[in-house]
Structure 1
Amino acid sequence: MDQSNPSPSMIEARAISKHFDTEAGRVALFEELNLNVPRGESLAVIGRSGAGKSTLLSLLAGLDTPTHGSVSIDGQAMEKLDDRQRAELRASKVSFIFQSFHLLPELTALDNVRLPLEIRGSTNPEKEAKRWLEQVGLGERTDHYPSQLSGGEQQRVAIARAFATQPALLFADEPTGNLDEETGGRIIEQLFSLNQQQGTTLILITHDPELAARCQRRVRLHNGQLTEE
């Protein structure tokens, strides 16, 4: 992939629309939506349930494709890349914290965190994975499988996995939604430490007003459009 003359934006969405066909006809989730996220920015996406925030995150991350329009990550237009190239781009630059965790059930907590480190060619993936699990308070649970962990513990594994690769871009969908107040506060501090110390671009979906207020910018998704808060 050509990385020459990269865009100053980490994310650029240009006139994206997303339609769904249902038995009742075509539903437009959003139309002609535009968003520019500079490198190193922290952005909170807020809005009511059902507004399409998680779908927007999937489009911005290249996990889904818009019905119309274009999304670029670090200057690379997703529609110009094939599936393998999009996967390579995500593997090299992007991490995710999903609401539903997306842990591999056949792998232990340690192996779930270690796998992306191995894919990126880390020199000591096991040591790094253990360090990040300790950072999120799961140093004693490394050999447990997702089915043996509570929802909050699974979310902490997902957070450790996302942090471990020190991504250029981190998408997080309600990253503290299943955590107690103390653990959630610690995770928030780590999120913004990544942003400030490593220049990681953060795009967060959240209903937490305190977390949204920590971001440099807030946008609200309502009636298919984004408005600055």
Structure 2
Amino acid sequence: MDQSTLSPTMIEAQALSKHFDTEAGRVDLFTGIDLVVTRGESLAVIGRSGAGKSTLLSLLAGLDTPSSGSVSIDGHRIETLDDRQRADLRARKISFIFQSFHLLPELTALDNVRLPLEIRGAENPKHDARQWLDEVGLGERTDHYPSQLSGGEQQRVAIARAFATRPSLLFADEPTGNLDEETGRTIIDQLFRLNAQQGTTLILITHDSELAMRCQRRLRLHNGALTEV
């Protein structure tokens, strides 16, 4: 599709609510959240632990279903899709970077990046994976397993894996949370450099004020409400 015909909206959430039923009664995590994220925007969601940031990310990514309200990703209403269709939408349009890296321990760095490319049907996944590891400075570590890599190196593999499929939308949940300050800054620089190169829509969940300030827009989730910072 011609880029000029694409809607400027990548994500739209309307009256989004999530609650849990516990033995002590119903717990409302958040209620009535409205959110529009434009194509190519970088957005940080901040807030204290337990505020529901990761749950919100799961809802926006179609990994979880809201108690009420709706989420649309690039014009696709999540609640109208079955599990297979949601998985297909994520495979085609979305990538993730997590605090705990989520690399497959039995695969080398190269194969961790290659696997999603193969799933997407890339013409030369091994070549592309190697190029992306070069891009994040790990060209000499392609045959190493996650257990042989430092935390910063593992996160760089995760970044290469996330961008290799050229996603329209990238979710990052505390991407520097397990890293020291200096390594975290390096990861942040690489993340935003690649984001600018590809024009990916970026949604970050973070406690890191420096990371949040790098985003074009910042929202705080507090007491069940999402407000501009």
What is the TM-score when the length of structure 2 is the normalising length? 0.90
What is aligned with 1:220? 220
> Structure 1 residues 15, 7: CA separation in 2 closer, same or farther (over 3 Å shift)?
farther
1:31-180 mapped onto 2 (5 Å cutoff) = 31-180=31-180
Tell me, yes or no, if the aligned pair for 1:41 and 1:195 is still in contact at 8 Å: no
Tell me, yes or no, if the aligned pair for 1:93 and 1:168 is still in contact at 8 Å: yes
- Give how far 1:164 is off: 1.4
Segment drifting more, 129-138 vs 18-27: 129-138
1:148 and 1:214 mapped to 2: Cα distance? 31
Give the aligned residue type for 1:46.
I
Tell me, yes or no, if the aligned pair for 2:152 and 2:187 is still in contact at 8 Å: no
User: What secondary structure does 1:186 align onto?
Assistant: helix
What is aligned with 1:11? 11
Segment drifting more, 19-28 vs 58-67: 19-28
2:197 and 2:148 mapped to 1: Cα distance? 34
2:59 and 2:209 mapped to 1: Cα distance? 24
Give the aligned residue type for 1:177.
G
Question: Can you give the 5+ residue segments of structure 1 that lack an aligned partner in the other structure?
Answer: none
Cα offsets for 1:41-83 (capped at 9, x unmatched): 1101000111111111111000111111111100100011111
Question: RMSD of the alignment, in Å?
Answer: 1.8
Give the aligned residue type for 1:189.
D
2:173 and 2:49 mapped to 1: Cα distance? 12
User: What secondary structure does 2:141 align onto?
Assistant: coil
1:197 and 1:112 mapped to 2: Cα distance? 22
User: What secondary structure does 1:192 align onto?
Assistant: helix
Cα offsets for 1:123-151 (capped at 9, x unmatched): 22112212222333333332233344343
Tell me, yes or no, if the aligned pair for 2:97 and 2:162 is still in contact at 8 Å: yes
Cα offsets for 1:80-122 (capped at 9, x unmatched): 1111111111111111001222222332221111011112222
What is the TM-score when the length of structure 1 is the normalising length? 0.90
> Structure 1 residues 154, 44: CA separation in 2 closer, same or farther (over 3 Å shift)?
same
Tell me, yes or no, if the aligned pair for 2:100 and 2:178 is still in contact at 8 Å: no
How many aligned positions are there?
225
Tell me, yes or no, if the aligned pair for 2:172 and 2:205 is still in contact at 8 Å: yes
2:7 and 2:165 mapped to 1: Cα distance? 22
Tell me, yes or no, if the aligned pair for 2:51 and 2:222 is still in contact at 8 Å: yes
1:27 and 1:105 mapped to 2: Cα distance? 36
User: What secondary structure does 1:57 align onto?
Assistant: helix
Give the aligned residue type for 1:86.
R
Identity of paired residues, percent?
A: 81
Tell me, yes or no, if the aligned pair for 2:43 and 2:204 is still in contact at 8 Å: yes
Give the aligned residue type for 2:38.
P
Cα offsets for 1:208-227 (capped at 9, x unmatched): 21211111100000001100
User: What secondary structure does 2:203 align onto?
Assistant: strand
Tell me, yes or no, if the aligned pair for 1:18 and 1:31 is still in contact at 8 Å: yes
Tell me, yes or no, if the aligned pair for 1:54 and 1:205 is still in contact at 8 Å: yes
> Structure 1 residues 201, 116: CA separation in 2 closer, same or farther (over 3 Å shift)?
same
1:7 and 1:17 mapped to 2: Cα distance? 25
User: What secondary structure does 1:171 align onto?
Assistant: strand
Tell me, yes or no, if the aligned pair for 1:95 and 1:170 is still in contact at 8 Å: yes
